[in-house]
Structure 1
Amino acid sequence: MELKLFYRTQRDLAASLNKLVDAYWEEEIKEEELIEGIKSMYENNQDKLLKNNGFTKVIQQQSGKRRLAVVEKILEMK
């Protein structure tokens, strides 16, 4: 799965995050690819993903609780 390093908006980031998690759930990508992709997105787009120790409102609204639970677990693995 092809991912960008830098995203222009929070909505673009959320859409890619959703595609990545959904691809994992549909068994189109392996767990390692999911973890690498999310860590890469986080490292290069921290300001668009997190604010005040939580996900930004746009990310929360676009991605939903189940996807963000997966993302949060991966980010805690550091």
Structure 2
Amino acid sequence: MELKLFHKTQRDLASAVNQTIDCYWDSEISEQEMIDTVKALYENNPTKFLKDQSFTKIIQQQCGKRRLEVVKKILNIDL
């Protein structure tokens, strides 16, 4: 799986997060690869991920609750 780590929009970022987690759920990538990718996406796009101590509205709408629960656990954030 090949993904860009720097994204232009929140929608692009949400799509990358969805693709990463879905590939893990479909057993296409390992758990560690998913964790590393989500951390890298967050580190390179922090302002597109979070705003005012919560996920941005676009990220919430595009990713959904189940995926964001996984992201919260990976990033060790309590929102």
TM-score range, shorter chain: over 0.9
Aligned to 2:38: 38
Distance 1:6 1:47 in 2: 12
Q: State how 1:14-25 maps to structure 2 within 5 Å.
A: 14-25=14-25
Distance 1:27 1:14 in 2: 20
Aligned to 1:28: 28
Aligned to 1:71: 71
Percent identity between the two aligned chains: 60
For normalisation by structure 2, the TM-score amounts to: 0.94
Distance 1:69 1:60 in 2: 11
Distance 1:3 1:53 in 2: 26
Aligned to 1:51: 51
Distance 1:20 1:32 in 2: 11
| Amino acid aligned to 1:54 | S
Per-residue deviation, 1:53: 1.0
For normalisation by structure 1, the TM-score amounts to: 0.95
Secondary structure in 2 matching 1:41: helix
Alignment coverage as a number of residue pairs: 77
Q: Which runs of 4+ in 1 moved over 2 A?
A: none
CA RMSD of aligned residues (A): 1.0
Runs of 5+ consecutive residues of structure 2 not aligned to the other structure: none
Give a deviation string over 1:5-28, Cα, whole Å, max 9, x none: 210000000001000000000110
Runs of 5+ consecutive residues of structure 1 not aligned to the other structure: none
